[in-house]
Amino acid sequence: MPREEKRVFFNYSETYNAIYSLCNKKGLEKPPTGTVQSINHDKKTDTYSLSFIDPIDSSTKNANYKTDFIAAALLLSCMGSGIPISKRAQKSVYIEDEYTILLAEQ
């Protein structure tokens, strides 16, 4: 049987917007304001750490999110942008270069 694989690439700004939107929708604390400098994945705790630079005072702030939360935020962004992702697809998230990638395999 044929298999389908879809990769949706999000730059750091789009990743930030996706996380911000999901936090806003769920009434959770929003990520710090600023520009995302880096995103790192800790496989032991299954969390992503986002490092932000505040544009006002150039300070660095961090925020941590579980992989499931990042995947949900990216999926919500895809739905809002009209990018179809199958509900039955197995979804995962990974970082490559300057992109956060939502992988959907079916």
DSSP designation for 34: S
Given a cut of 90, is residue 100 above it in pLDDT?
A: yes
Assign 9 to helix, strand or coil.
strand
Residue written as tokens 């389908």? 4
Phi and psi, residue 28, nearest 5°: -95, 165
Percent of the chain's residues with pLDDT above 90: 84
CA atoms within 13 A of residue 72's CA, in its CB half-sphere:
11
Assign 81 to helix, strand or coil.
helix
pLDDT tens digits for range 20-47 = 999 999 999 999 988 999 999 999 999 9
Phi and psi, residue 38, nearest 5°: -155, 160
Note the pLDDT of residue 17.
96
